[in-house]
Structure 1
Amino acid sequence: MNTVQYKRWFLALCAFLLLVAGGPGGLVGTALAEGKIQLGVTVGIEGKYRETGMVPVVVTVKNGGADVEGELYVATGERGNNQFAVANYQPVSIASGATKQVTILVPGQELHNSSYVALMQNNTIIAKTPVTGRLYSEDTLMIGVLAENRDTANFLGALPKGSIHNDVQVLSMKAENVPATGTQLRMIDMLVINNFALDSLNEQQIKAIRDWTKSGGMLILAGGAQYKKWSGVLADLSPVEVTGVTSVQTLASLKVDKTNPIELTSPFTVSNGTLKTGKALYSEGNIPLMAVHNVGDGKVLYVAYDLAAEPVASWAGNSRFWSDTLIKAFGSSINDSKTRMYDRIWPLRDAADRIPSLRIPEVSWFALFFGIYALIAGPVLFYLLRRKRKQSYMWVIVPVLSVVAGIGIFSIGAIQRGSGVKVHQVGVIQLQNNGQANTASVTAFFVPRNDDYRLTLKGEGMTEPLFELNQHDEVPKIWISMQPDQTNIDFRDVEFWSMRKVATEQSLSDVGKIESNLAYENGALKGTVTNNTKFPLRDVTISSGMQVQEIPQLAVGSSIEVNLPFTPQQQARQNRRWQNMAHALPQHMQSNGYQTETREQVMVEMLEMMDRSSGQSEVVKLVGWTDTPVVEAVVQNESVEHNSIAMVTSALQVTPSKDGHIYYPTGTFDVTMSGSSVPVDDFGDGYRLPAGDITFDINLDQEGQDLTVNNLYLYTWSEDNTTFEKEVYNWKTKAFEPFEKAFMNNVMTSDKTATYISGDGMVRIKFAHQFEDHRHIGYPNVSVEGKVSKK
């Protein structure tokens, strides 16, 4: 055979090897069944989705061939070169000639243009199609609408810029777009229910709306004469107790300005009722037209009319009116930027690596071991063999001794790691005052051998594997299946002595709450705090600003006495934020320094992240630690060693003293960016803006209470120490005035409140600078001394 033939054979062999290696996983075949299996894909809602939250991928499978049983999956987590990290899948069985629709939930941040949907049978892809849809950034305000008329809330998509600076997308939803859990509904920020029959939803979907609202969602309940379509199941969420239907002759309270009123040519139908909680925003006589109240961490806005009813629906001022109304109703929640779960939990991701039983041996022991080895392998062995005149044995004994030492080191490591799987879970539990809790956790497991492993996480919520860059292939090695009550994650071909991690966010019900009976009296915060949760707590701290009280143990059902000194003038400062976080550490760790961070030292950084969005950390808060797992984690068919730790947080309610006096610390009041003359960039704890001005509204309204302000303490700050010009709005003259007219040494006294605090408890402050470059302005920090009475 000549040289040319050898080259041809060699090139053919190389081409064959490349072809085999280029198949999915190098081993998994691809046999696309053209014309037999057809896949149709719809992503998100109306093909739109956001990179935060769980995105529904609806797959329609038409089977024109033989019966098929396999896995339908969405490949996500693409990092280039047609390689993917995760297969989000559901097992499917499709008879010949049948059509089936399957919904697979996928983290929006991991969907890319290269993501695909495939049907796999016996490790062979028999059908495949790309995922298409329109991705929106995390800053987009996503508004879902459940309504009989799909055009009901289109005016919300045309809100004028200014007070609402985020882009707005209105999504017309159907019953099948409502997921089964509240966590999975987080793809949207606001949900409008108007003239929509909620009995078309199942119990899980109704519960999802409730849980989503209580966890921070913005819910609008409307419908006018059709109010019964929602009141049958969500009446308890409404601030108004609806009693029937009536009509009004005028809508004079719904106005933007005097030049553009709503003109009624006939009676206008509205639902009628009485305000049972919260605050009425607009009324006609005794009829509340709009009212809002807090439900957990979320808010519910009641609207007494059908949003699609004329002449309001086509009113020229409708979008401007709703822009103002949404700010009044939902405050800073409107402009909140949502972050991806991966970015929200990175301290937990890092803390999960620190498995207590996998501590690295002390360096001193290694030094001693290698010192003894060097002594024996060197001078000791040389001396003994020289005395016996057997120096040549060194060529055999030293290598053998090295092998024995290496086996010894490996054996010590193997004994330390054990023969079973080590599961380590770290988490944060944010208790609400309604018996619920929002949780975030990372579950890590360390494996002793190369194998396939299945991790099952119990409960409903949002689950996402945290993968490394080298865990990619065309057919992914991480397979995740979300069920209503649990999530299964299959890790295939896991290397021995390696770790895998999974992040989870859940809303827990019926976990109890921290009961507090606290009041400010004689320069101190005094009272009792009781642990009425299911979590036994240790290393507990109760803090108000820089004042901290430490409690070693707070068992379930037990109470402690609180006595914290306080000074109203002492504002929470941005540069004190980490000091406040450090107070949450167990006492024995506070003096250890930070040369080697413990898992607890990493975990407390979650507190800073949770407070950073408001830039305020003076609210009276309890932080404790529990060894109770946040999520039940099971590694199937394995011997498992479990270890868990969670940080439990709860804001503590402070009641007025006997004579009605009270102090509201920084963080109590909602601060909203209500307008700007220039485009601004949201930085979480404030904004950056070019030369121009920005306005903040500070809402002092306390639901169910009338507040008389004695002293209002204000602290303003800039990350780059820019000196901003400040003005305060005079509600009597309807104009801004110099800051110094309202505040002296950053304190507004009671004689100024009638002028600079509106009738519904609003303070408006404008900041301006004239520098050429962008400058930072933080959210103003406000605390109040005053007296309250029941409304």
Structure 2
Amino acid sequence: MYRYIRVLKGAFFALLFSLSALLPSYAAITADGPGSGVAGPRETVPEEGAQTEALWQDPASPHPLEMEVVYGYDNTARSGRILPMTIRVTNSTKEDFTGTLRAATLEPEYSPYGNSSLSEYSTYRYEYPIEVKAGETVEKKIQISLSIQVDQVLLSLVDQEGKETAGRRIRLDLNLDTAELYVGVLSDHPERLSYMDHMGINYSTLRTRLIELDQDTMPESRQELDQLDVLLINDFDTGSLDSRQLEAVWEWTQSGGTLLFGTGEHANETLGAFSKALLASPLPQAVEFELDMESSQESSEYGDSRIVLNCTEVDLKGSTEVMTKGPMEIISSTPVGRGMAAAAIYDFGDLKEYGTDNPSYVDRLFTELIGENRLNLLSSGNGGSSAGRYWEVQSLINTGNVNRLPKVGLYVTLAVAYVALAGPGLYFFLKQRELRQYYQPAVAILSLCCTGMVLLMGIPTRFNGPFFTYASIQDAGEEDVSETLFINMRSPYNHSYGVSLDPSYRLFPVCDSSYYNPGTVPALVDSEDPDMVIRYKEDETYIEARDTGAFNPSYFQMERNLPNETGQGFSGEIRAFEGTITGTITNNYPWTVENAALLLYNQMVMIGTIEPGQTISLDGRELIYCATDLGYAMAAQITGASRYGQKVNIEDPDYVRALERTNLLSFYVENYFSGYHTQARVVAFSQEQKETGFLRNPGTETYGCTLLTSELDVNYEQDGLVSRSAMQKQPHVLAGEYDAARNTIYGINPVVLEYYLGNELGVDTLHFHRLSEGVVANLRYYYTVPFEGNMYFYNYNTGSYDRMDSAVSQYNREELDSYLSPGNTITVKYVYDTAGEYTWNIMLPVLTVTGRRQP
């Protein structure tokens, strides 16, 4: 019913639009109770088969088949994630079966015409070819998108004649009462980690849930790991995993997962398969340490919680301290794409007794590791959900080619000319020639001519079939190229249509989230035709949109990884030290790139255009201090959109191109490059605006932009000194309102922050970097201003705050001697000058520290 309402609405609005000014168009059967599905019986295992209800099984069919279903982990699932399912089909007859496996579910849909307080749902059906030999059992692994609060999946088998022979309905076991943190455990002795299971964290708003994995059950694709938040590898030889499993783990981490290693005596085996990608230096031999497990970082004295553990110091590339004790770095982490990898110096299994007696340890571990902001999202039930990206993705691909916009001035000129000719002009012309009796036929002929001109003028603005707008992010590394592609599929007609896509991409819908607009999820019934069909074949992925309205958008996310056989991407050597950047960057693409820039943490270097094969020197270029987490403001500077200010001109192709690129780069920075990172990223845009590589048949019209990125290592050392950000660990807020992600303060009350400078570094110089002038001017459009006021350092000798000269931006070791704590922290009080324009979004200075590594 929802589909027909949408079609009528779409047709009505399309009719109104087409008639205005003669301008062309621009263009589930539910379970009866907990026992009727698989809700409740978590003991269901693949060997026994999932206890779902058989909807139908035609005894007259020549192919009576049996289906067993296992989904998620232990037959539990989380909505808002990709749901892996394993379907076992048994053919007990003597005839082979060839047909299609169908999986249908619901996706919420934003309706611009309907009541915004209610959610409409569309039926999405996934179809997979399947063949079962006589007397055999085939296991089919699939992954489908499971939207928030949707707990229904309808499975069916269809033969080659289109006849349904068997089916299952599933009421998914969703825990909607308690938010959970899913922790996958890969260990030879998982029982030693049982103290981590069902523990309350983040003020008990989340409860941990351990998912035991092994070499046989470890997934082979990133999508199968999507249900997890953390993957803990402890006391396990990662070398025993095959290449597909290792690739799945790495891709999952890059897409936002948290990969945690426990080491101790088994560090070499546990980190072995990932050592090349993660380790900055070889692992030393494990040694015994007596560790104080109390949470205080500053205290170097051992308390009552002393444990003797076998420990291995792990030196990760570009590491950030997560948990420390005195000079000892207990857990460190490093960014991996949108996610991170972390390693502890001990085996988590050795802490079973301590963790059982001290439940707060598990809370502290995951809070420090994941961060409160991320945990709060998970607690809300929306963390990790692809549905949360709907509005961001919409801004990327809900645009079009401005060349298809009608020339309004030309139409106005034609309309004025028509009125002038059809009115007094034609009348007086015929009157002077005493031909007034031909006035009406002449007006009719003139009207036909003008109508023909309107139709001819509208040809460039019309679409002849389905078309795509897209936004592509291509990240080129030394060994492979990963591509994330967002597409908006539309058609100018009010009827069904289909498109064929490259099967090398993994494809999932991006739909509106019912989390923000909860309502009753409608029943998923077998008699209802699907609104969208995604048909997977060997040579294509076919999408069929059924009875959709004209120009109704359909959003999808596509992903793939390919080996970098041609060496495309950016390469170079970079050194950054105390506000100076040196080195080179080379464009290894066979085409020119535009709007190129080098991004570091809270810093960037503008480059511009780079020709194919050209090497650009960074020496002498300005290092701009900016706000990385204010992605749109930074992206607008790189693409040139900031030059337009608040002026909007959609008829200017340069403005529209800059706006599209700004939206894409902003999305990339905020979703893929946020948080502290030691590596640099080269970003640039391809000149090509009509990419068709994702299409199986390239004849369909496309329009969009492609962001090209590559990660480069940065050398922060010079003459034995190391220069790095003092904000690699978020400052501890002692007073006031502070947003760590954006480094901003709010209100008129003083803000007191404690910065952790790192125990392994002997501080030589501390720098306070304020925003560059061009950044300040641009940020004003986003109601963000730099800090102006007084700054105070806490004096550990006197126990009071000393006022510092706000004009000074650098302090040496002697000047800092009274202000550094034994734990190498410095406490700064900021008192904002309330005479300024704003009392919110006050951007603080960015701190960097220079010193020598401690032995």
User: Common fold, TM-score beyond 0.5?
Assistant: yes
Distance 1:321 1:573, change over 3 A: same
Q: Structure 1 residue 89 and structure 2 residue 127: aligned?
A: yes
In structure 1, what is the Cα distance between the partners aligned to 2:74 and 2:481?
32
Match of 1:366 in 2: 411
CA drift at 1:129: 0.7
* Equivalent residue number for residue 356 of structure 1: 401
| Residue aligning to 1:57 | 85
Is 1:454 matched up with 2:496? no
Q: Which amino acid aligns with 2:196?
A: L
Contact 1:163/1:675 (<8 A) preserved: no
Contact 1:139 1:167 in 2 (8 A): yes
Tell me by how many angstroms 1:364 deviates.
0.6
Alignment of 1:110-125 (within 5 A): 112-121=150-159
784 and 589 in structure 1: CA distance in 2 versus 1, 3 angstrom threshold:
closer
Residue 409 of structure 1: CA displacement?
Answer: 3.4
TM-score by length of 2: 0.67
Q: Distance in 2 between matches of 1:598 and 1:215?
A: 29
Q: Tell me: CA distance 1:491–1:547, structure 2 relative to 1, closer, same or farther (3 Å).
A: closer
% of aligned pairs identical? 14
Alignment match of 2:102 (pick from 72, 86, 92): 72
Paired position in structure 1 for 2:572: 515
Question: Which of 595, 600, 607 lines up with 1:539 in the alignment?
Answer: 595
Aligned position for 2:585: 529
Describe the SS at the equivalent of 1:598. helix
Which secondary structure state, in structure 2, belongs to the residue aligned with residue 672 of structure 1? coil
| Deviation of the 1:537 alpha carbon | 1.2
Match of 2:458 among 413, 425, 432: 413
Shift of 1:207: 1.0
- How big is each residue's C-alpha offset from its partner over 1:52-97, in whole Å with a ceiling of 9 and x where there is no partner? 5423233444567884622321323145898524223322234576
The 8 Å contact of residues 263 and 343 in structure 2, kept in 1 or not, is answered as no
Which of 658, 661, 664 lines up with 1:600 in the alignment?
A: 658
Corresponding residue pairs, total: 737
* 1:219 pairs with 2:256: no
**Are the structure 2 counterparts of residues 577 and 111 from structure 1 closer, same or farther at C-alpha, using a change threshold of 3 Å?**
closer
- Matched residue, 1:11: none
Instruction: Report the CA distance shift for 1:482/1:45 in structure 2 as closer, same or farther (over 3 A).
Output: farther
Match of 1:626 among 675, 683, 686: 686
The equivalent position to 2:470 in structure 1, one of 401, 425, 448, is: 425
In 2, distance between residues paired with 1:690 and 1:587? 30
2:291 to 239, 252, 259: 252
The one-letter code of the counterpart of 1:104 is: I
AA of the residue aligned to 2:357: A
Q: Report the AA paired with residue 348 of structure 2.
A: L
Q: Is the 8 A contact 2:569 2:710 kept in 1?
A: no
Structure 2 contact 253–339 (Cα < 8 Å) conserved: yes
Residue 188 of structure 1 aligns to a residue in which SS? coil
Does structure 2 retain, via aligned residues, the 8 Å contact 1:582–1:590? no
* Residue-by-residue CA offset, 1:704-744 (whole Å, 9 max, x unaligned): x94634124288999899999999889x89xx966547997
Give the 3 Å change call, closer, same or farther, for CA 768–307 of structure 1 in structure 2: farther
The one-letter amino acid paired with 1:73 is A
The CA deviation string for residues 163-198 of structure 1, in whole angstroms up to 9 with x for no partner, is 998654433345576443446634433211234465
* Structure 2, gaps ≥5 residues long: 1-27, 30-53, 110-117, 297-301, 378-382, 515-523, 772-778, 833-838
Q: Where do 1:148-297 residues align within 5 Å?
A: 148-157=188-197, 161=201, 168-173=208-213, 178-182=218-222, 185-196=225-236, 198=238, 201-214=241-254, 216-222=256-262, 230=270, 233-237=273-277, 239=279, 241=282, 248=288, 251-254=290-293, 260-261=304-305, 270=310
Give secondary structure in 2 for the equivalent of 1:354: coil
Structure 1: segments with no counterpart, 5+ residues: 1-22, 25-29, 770-774
How far apart in 1 are the matches of 2:612 and 2:605? 19
Show the 5 A alignment for 1:503-652: 503-505=557-559, 510=564, 511-519=568-576, 525-532=581-588, 536-541=592-597, 549-565=606-622, 572=626, 579-586=633-640, 590=644, 593-596=647-650, 598-609=656-667, 611=669, 622-627=682-687, 633-637=693-697, 639-648=699-708
> How far apart are 1:368 and its partner, in Å?
1.8
Distance 1:272 1:350, change over 3 A: closer
**What is the rounded CA distance, in whole Å, between the counterparts of 1:500 and 1:162 in structure 2?**
37
Cα displacement (A) at 1:366: 0.9
Displacement, 1:147? 2.7
**Residues 567-617 of structure 1, C-alpha deviation per residue, up to 9 Å, x if partnerless?**
9xxx64699875433211248974793243614314413444555585899
Alpha-carbon separation, structure 2, partners of 1:483 and 1:195: 40
Structure 1 CA distance for aligned equivalents of residues 539 and 854 of structure 2: 43
- The alpha carbon displacement at 1:360 in A equals 0.9
Contact 1:221 1:230 (8 Å CA) reproduced: yes
**Paired residues for 1:17-32 under 5 Å:** 32=56
Q: 1:441 and 2:485 equivalent?
A: yes
The answer on 1:316 being equivalent to 2:357 is: yes
Please report the RMSD computed on the Cα atoms of aligned residues, expressed in angstroms: 5.9
Post-superposition Cα deviations, 1:33-68, rounded to whole Å, max 9, x if no partner, equal 378666554443234444554232334445678846
Corresponding residue SS for 1:58: strand
Structure 1 residue 133 corresponds to structure 2 residue 178:
no
